[in-house]
Amino acid sequence: MKRLTLLLAVVAVSACAPSVTTTTSPAAATASVERMAKDVQTVASDAFLGRGPATPGEELTINYLVAQLKAAGLEPGVNGSWFQDVPLLQADIVGAPSLTVNVAGKRMDLKQGEQIAVRASMRNVDRVTFTGPLVFLGYGVKATERNWDDFKGADLRGKIGVVLINDPDFETGQGDFGGKAMTYYGRWTYKYEEAARQGLNGLLIVHETAPASYGWPTVKNSNTNTMFDIVRTNPAEVHPPLEGWIQRDFAVELFRAAGQDFDALKRQAQTREFRPVPLGDATFAANYTVTSRTIRSKNVLGRVPGTTHANETILYGAHWDHLGIGPPDARGDSIYNGAIDNGTGIAAVLELARLFKAGPRPQRTIVFAFWTAEEKGLIGSEYYAANPVYPLETTVAGFNIDALAVTGRARDVLVVGSGQSDLDDRLKSVLAASNRVITPDPTPEAGYFFRSDHFPMAKRGVPMLYMDSGIDLLVGGTAAGRAADTEYRRDAYHQPADNYDPAKWSFAGIADDVNILYAMGLQLANSRDWPNYRTTSEFRPARDKSASSRK
Ligand SMILES: [Zn+2]
């Protein structure tokens, strides 16, 4: 009955105002809270063992995903298969690495995890051993479109660079790098990639809490552990032989011993005129053994083919993996179920797949991707971006969903990395239809836009939206939204307690957001539009390079 009433209303409107098009009305989509609750309940159950890649939990997870996609009537997304094989390189340092600085006749032995945190090499080598001069390279940034080059053509081959974290205008708050907000030039992944391009033997990033946005324990834990990467044809293109961080106190001491002043050099580094500064006669020596092996996991992809522009793609994605089995918590629970992170994202993308299959067939192709190994460093999505099944040049836009709130309906949605692309404007107008608004990225200085699965595509120029749950709740407003977020981060995030809880949870807000994402994707799918990054974005040049392949 209800459906019939709606249909009559649409017909009536069309008759009065024939110029109004109703084909992309958000009313066409109605996400089901029941279906999504069941998806989360299933993938976050103990039977799925925390969905660790290359564990029995993977088998259960990917089979469940395929069963759901098949039941919804989707086509396999990878040339007739549901799976994209993802080989992961896993590397560990064996024992305590020998790491030494010699400066002005003084020898400093560095302890892994204390003054320094060195990552296991991801170049598929058995041993890292070298000695080289240390040189300070400012923020380690080469940004042609901003007329900025910290290297000034210096010959850096064989040297060990020391750089600052974040970008050159973080401390002053104004300049060509978005002020306080972090551009990609501020992220450590960029700094290692640039170091490889510069031919450096190694790069040490000076840790400071405010510009890094996290403390030394985070640096220590994530860098002295097992490292993961995709298997690359030429890892030397993105990884210098040595990658690591040093504590600020140690950097200050090293600079002083080399006859330099850390703070004075930092101020120089905030200017365009900065040039590389050799740290006196300081040399850095490293010697350690590395073991590497390859493990295998899978991305899962399904699609709804487009009618008239099937070779143009809109991508929805969420990571299926979580942390697996780990150290037990106080209650003895050792299964990291990942119900919110990212059971909710899995459920949302499955539901989007069902909606697109059930609704009017779109003109462009819609692809639904479930990435592996996000928790190990965006591995599945990076593998896809490096080996795309659908060409990135003709991927119209993409949407990433990672950990949605189960706190009920909100007046807003959050956009992580707001201001990057004109997808913001499209989202704004779709939201307006239901009187909702965008809350801009609350912590742009932390660079969260560079830390989830849309990023490997974004870096290569594909316009990507990372929309997250709003905080201005219909019941309780922003106070309630913030409190719930704080509670989740404290009590459940990346802990065994991230469990499905039907008594406390509401999927109503998630359903609203899925409807918004559906409407946005359908609108793009039935248009000839090509969204893009704004001219101020560091990702605009990468997109514009392939402009001729988009008509
Ligand atoms: Zn996640």
SS3 of 343, please? Answer: helix
- pTM here is 0.89
- Cα 83 to ligand 1 centroid, rounded to whole Å: 20
pLDDT, average across residues 106-120:
96
> What is residue 29's predicted lDDT score, i.e. its pLDDT?
67
Residue 288: CB atoms within 10 A of its CB come to: 19
Q: How far apart are the C-alpha atoms of 132 and 139, rounded to whole Å?
A: 20
- Find, among 112, 109, 114, the residue nearest to 93 by Cα: 112
> What is residue 225's predicted lDDT score, i.e. its pLDDT?
86
- Cα 413 to ligand 1 centroid, rounded to whole Å: 17
> What is residue 551's predicted lDDT score, i.e. its pLDDT?
83
- Cα 270 to ligand 1 centroid, rounded to whole Å: 34
- Cα 319 to ligand 1 centroid, rounded to whole Å: 7
Q: How confident is the model at residue 17 (pLDDT cuts 50, 70, 90)?
A: very low
- Cα 286 to ligand 1 centroid, rounded to whole Å: 34
pLDDT tens-digit series, residues 267-311:
999 999 999 999 999 999 999 999 999 999 999 999 999 999 999
> What is residue 28's predicted lDDT score, i.e. its pLDDT?
56
Q: How far apart are the C-alpha atoms of 349 and 65, rounded to whole Å?
A: 10
Residue 331: CB atoms within 10 A of its CB come to: 8
> What is residue 21's predicted lDDT score, i.e. its pLDDT?
38
- Find, among 444, 447, 438, 501, the residue nearest to 471 by Cα: 438
> What is residue 40's predicted lDDT score, i.e. its pLDDT?
98
pLDDT tens-digit series, residues 456-485:
999 999 999 999 999 999 999 999 999 999
User: Cα 215 vs. chain centroid, distance in angstroms?
Assistant: 20
pLDDT, average across residues 185-213:
96
Question: Any idea what the Cα angle at residue 472 is, between residues 466 and 477, rounded to 5°?
Answer: 165
Percent share of the chain, pLDDT over 70: 95
Task: Enumerate long-range contacts of 217-224, CB under 8 Å, 24 or more apart.
Answer: 219/117, 219/245, 220/113, 220/117, 223/117, 223/118, 223/119, 224/93, 224/112, 224/113, 224/117, 224/118, 224/119
pLDDT mean across residues, the chain: 93
- Find, among 295, 182, 284, the residue nearest to 240 by Cα: 284
| Residue 118: strand pairing partners | 244
| Residue 223: strand pairing partners | none
Alpha helix positions (H), 258-328: 262-269
Tokens of 459: 């870096």
Residue 413 has pLDDT above 80, yes or no: yes
- Cα 171 to ligand 1 centroid, rounded to whole Å: 29
- Cα 145 to ligand 1 centroid, rounded to whole Å: 32
Count Cα atoms within 13 angstroms, Cβ side, for 106. Answer: 12
- Cα 187 to ligand 1 centroid, rounded to whole Å: 19
- Cα 343 to ligand 1 centroid, rounded to whole Å: 9
Residues 349 and 370 sit within 8 Å (Cβ to Cβ) = yes
- Cα 374 to ligand 1 centroid, rounded to whole Å: 7
Residue 26 has pLDDT above 50, yes or no: no
Count Cα atoms within 13 angstroms, Cβ side, for 62. Answer: 23
Residues 46 and 330 sit within 8 Å (Cβ to Cβ) = no
- Cα 531 to ligand 1 centroid, rounded to whole Å: 26
Percent share of the chain, pLDDT over 90: 90
- Cα 485 to ligand 1 centroid, rounded to whole Å: 14
> What is residue 307's predicted lDDT score, i.e. its pLDDT?
98
- Cα 275 to ligand 1 centroid, rounded to whole Å: 39
- Cα 375 to ligand 1 centroid, rounded to whole Å: 7
Tokens of 233: 């044809």
Question: Any idea what the Cα angle at residue 501 is, between residues 499 and 502, rounded to 5°?
Answer: 150
- Cα 342 to ligand 1 centroid, rounded to whole Å: 5
- Cα 402 to ligand 1 centroid, rounded to whole Å: 5
Q: How confident is the model at residue 145 (pLDDT cuts 50, 70, 90)?
A: confident
Question: Which position has the higher pLDDT, 181 or 367?
Answer: 367
